[in-house]
């Protein structure tokens, strides 16, 4: 689960991490009411659950209240990566002397939460990893001990020279770790963490993700959920026993089993295609699951063809075939569908499919190539 920047800042503030003041506004009228008349430098920031706001024009500076109102008019209603901006954060701007990055992630290789920090703040950490990997500090944290004060100071020493700033930064790191653990986070970033000309260390932008499996015990966090269209689809799929994640391609995938789903996406990429989703119908032999899956797949306007790849074990191929026929009776579509069935009751399933006139192939590589070919017509 993701949250907006303004929500991350609220959590930072609750845990004692210093952040500039700001007002969340859903309309221009709210900007007029909530923002003080005092003229000062402010930043108006689109609140959307995607990156690239700055490049899209969703972050603008304003020197007066009137200018903040005008900037809000430009940003509200803007489209950023397919998402309409419905709210803005109007925050006090900060003079910046230096920018840093600090973050916490679940590191599977280290089998621990890992603290990452860099003197290259203000840009995506993935970009720093590509261009200046030596600039990234990594410290795995013992889960039985947590982030200890001396460890936080050790990292802060590699970012700052002044003892006062080292103490400020170390305190922020310890508080961020406490927030991370207590809210069952899977990602917590401050980017940038800044040093101001008057030598204050502040968090001026934040990002947090949370473990979906722990939300049942995080009432405050789940109340923050503002699902976008893609996340609503994922939640809808989950409620129907499907695992669905939307991607950026145009070839819809329906598969049983996460491993086969990953292999299917790899096969599509191998032959030059782009998968539109990860969709695992699981091991159930329930035709309704196929109907639900097809509804989700064909609801994506980017999908130009569909590849169905089923290996029957617990899942019976004839049940999948019946579900597909039922789905196509309900949903009238001209999107081409390619089917590969093997395993339990594959012969019976193929007989059902052949009566519909849909393309049937024998191998996964044939299915991928055929799906790509049809998507281009």
- Any idea which residues carry the catalytic annotation? 101, 189
- The upper half-sphere exposure of residue 249, i.e. CA atoms within 13 Å in the direction of its Cβ, equals 22
DSSP-H helix ranges across the chain = 5-14, 28-34, 65-75, 125-131, 149-157, 163-182, 219-222, 229-239, 258-270, 287-298, 317-330, 346-354, 364-375
Q: Does 53 count as an annotated binding residue?
A: yes
Q: Kind of pairing, strands 22-25 and 88-92?
A: antiparallel
Helix (H) or strand (E) holding 116, with range, is strand 112-118
Task: Say which DSSP state 105 is in.
Answer: E
CA 151 to chain centre: 30
31 annotated as belonging to a binding site for a ligand: no
94 marked among binding-site residues = yes
- Alpha-carbon gap, residue 341 to 308, rounded angstroms: 8
- The answer to the question of whether 256 is labelled as a binding residue is yes
282 annotated ligand-binding residue: no
Is 121 annotated among the ligand-binding residues? no
- Per the DSSP assignment, residues forming a β-bridge with 360 are 339
Eight-class DSSP state of 51 = S
273 is in an annotated binding site: no
79 known member of a binding site:
no
Is 314 marked as binding a ligand?
yes
Is 315 assigned to a binding site? yes
- Binding-site positions for ATP read 45, 52-54, 94, 99
- Binding-site positions for substrate read 256, 313-315
- Binding-site positions for Mg(2+) read 191, 205
- Binding-site positions read 45, 52-54, 94, 99, 191, 205, 256, 313-315
């Amino acid at each position: 689960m993701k949250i907006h920047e303004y929500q991350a800042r609220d959590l930072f503030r609750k845990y004692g991490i210093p952040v500039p003041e700001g007002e969340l506004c859903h309309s221009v009228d709210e900007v007029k009411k909530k923002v003080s008349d005092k003229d000062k430098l402010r930043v108006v920031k689109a609140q959307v659950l995607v990156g690239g706001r700055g490049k899209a024009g969703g972050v603008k500076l304003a020197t007066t209240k009137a200018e903040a109102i005008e900037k809000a008019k430009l940003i509200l209603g803007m489209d950023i990566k397919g998402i309409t901006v419905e709210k803005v954060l109007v925050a006090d701007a900060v003079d910046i002397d230096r920018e840093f990055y600090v973050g916490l992630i679940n590191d599977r290789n280290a089998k621990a939460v890992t603290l990452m920090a860099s003197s290259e703040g203000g840009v995506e950490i993935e970009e720093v990893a590509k261009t200046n990997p030596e600039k990234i500090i990594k410290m795995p944290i013992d889960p039985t001990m947590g982030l200890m004060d001396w460890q936080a100071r050790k990292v802060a020493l590699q970012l700052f020279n002044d003892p006062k700033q080292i103490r400020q930064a170390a305190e922020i790191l310890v508080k961020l770790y406490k927030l991370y653990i207590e809210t069952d986070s899977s990602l917590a970033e401050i980017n940038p963490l800044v040093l101001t000309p008057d030598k204050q260390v502040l968090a001026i932008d934040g990002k947090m993700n949370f473990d979906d499996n722990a939300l049942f015990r995080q009432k405050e966090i789940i109340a923050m959920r503002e699902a976008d269209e893609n996340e609503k689809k994922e939640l809808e799929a989950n409620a129907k026993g499907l695992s669905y994640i939307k991607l950026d391609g145009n070839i819809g995938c329906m598969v049983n089993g996460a491993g086969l789903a990953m292999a299917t996406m790899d096969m599509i990429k191998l032959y030059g295609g782009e998968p539109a989703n990860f969709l695992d119908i699981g091991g159930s032999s329930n035709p309704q699951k196929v109907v639900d899956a097809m509804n989700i797949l064909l609801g994506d306007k980017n999908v130009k063809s569909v590849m169905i790849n089923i290996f029957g074990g617990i899942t019976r191929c004839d049940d999948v075939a019946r579900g597909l026929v039922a789905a196509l009776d309900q949903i009238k579509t001209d999107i081409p569908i390619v089917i590969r069935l093997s395993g339990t009751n594959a012969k019976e399933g193929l007989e059902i499919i052949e009566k519909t006139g849909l393309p049937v192939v024998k191998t996964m590589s044939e299915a991928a190539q055929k799906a790509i070919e049809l998507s281009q017509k």
